[in-house]
């Protein structure tokens, strides 16, 4: 893996960097971003994480999420990863930040200072199969109902983000 990510304090100030897997093993606060793309009908583009992911494999999640590289601006990283994972290029707008901490599978911990971005697109995704196995478009109401009935099929961070009051302002 050997991907380095940015460690931060609770004001998103960089305090170092570390290997991504080690950060998740130790549960350290780090910089991340989450993207939510909507089509012209207001449906959200979901991705299903690939089977080979080291955590949260085969779970449905938001359009794209990842970590900026140590030298990379968060917006630039979000645009880059959206293209790499979903094959989509579109303008993104920063909506809010959120710190959350959650236990994952494989004895890993997600503790993120998460920058939330939204965008609009009607493009058909071109999936990077190492990252994403499937996609679909859903309304927020459909998604919330599915999460309520089958929460084990969704990433922990997606469930957390959908419950935040701030999320209602981005739809």
What is the set of active-site residues? Answer: 65, 112
Contact 128, 80 (CB under 8 A): no
Q: Which of 73, 52, 32, 7 is nearest to 157 (CA)?
A: 32
Question: Quick one: tokens of 115?
Answer: 């920058």
Backbone phi, then psi, for 151, in 5-degree steps?
-60, -25
Q: State the Cα–Cα distance between residues 156 and 102, nearest whole angstrom.
A: 7
Contact 92, 120 (CB under 8 A): no
Longest dimension (CA), the chain: 42
Length of the chain: 171
């Amino acid at each position: 893996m050997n991907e380095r990510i940015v460690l931060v304090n609770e004001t998103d100030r960089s305090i170092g960097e570390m290997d991504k897997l080690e950060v998740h093993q130790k549960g350290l606060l780090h910089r991340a971003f989450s993207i939510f793309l909507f089509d012209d009908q207001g449906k959200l583009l979901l991705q299903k994480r690939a089977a080979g992911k080291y955590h949260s494999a085969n779970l449905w999640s938001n359009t794209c999420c990842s970590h900026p590289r140590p030298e990379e601006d968060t917006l630039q990283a979000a645009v880059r990863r959206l293209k790499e994972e979903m094959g989509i290029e579109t303008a993104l707008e920063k909506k809010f930040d959120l710190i959350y901490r959650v236990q994952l599978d494989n004895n890993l911990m997600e503790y993120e200072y998460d920058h939330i971005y939204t965008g609009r697109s009607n493009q058909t995704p071109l999936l990077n199969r190492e990252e994403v196995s499937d996609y679909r478009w859903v309304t927020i109401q459909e998604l919330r109902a599915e999460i309520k009935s089958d929460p084990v099929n969704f990433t922990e961070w997606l469930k957390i983000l959908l419950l935040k009051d701030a999320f209602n302002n981005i739809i």
